[in-house]
Amino acid sequence: MDTLFSINELAEQFDITARAIRFYEDKGLIVPGRAGSRRVYTRRDRGRLQLILRGKRLGFSLEEIRQYLNLYDQDPTLVSQMQLLLNKVEERRVQLVQQQKDIIETLADLDGIRQQTEGLLAAAEGTK
């Protein structure tokens, strides 16, 4: 028999709220079973949740995560899933490298403004 988890157990394991898990359910990313009126999650659901959270942490949209998860069910060889992942990882890398360049440029601008303002402030205080 497969190990079953409650929503609270998963929330605790992943340090998220039960509400976050229900949100992913509402989006159709995970589909728990039922034991009476209680939600129960399998190891597969737990694995999907782990992939969802990793994808979000890496900056992927819920739609990109959905595409990735859906390929798991469609292609038993996982080749399509791996190709999609590789493409999405490269796209995200390009975005992050650009953001890194933008941040470095912004920091340099801020440093210049700070130096200029400190100089003007020192000059103004010196003329008092």
High-pLDDT (> 70) share of the chain, % = 98
Please report the pLDDT score of residue 1 as a whole number: 53
Gap between the Cα atoms of 86 and 92, Å rounded: 10
Global pTM reads: 0.76
34 strand-pairing partners: 39
pLDDT of residue 128 exceeding 70, the answer is no
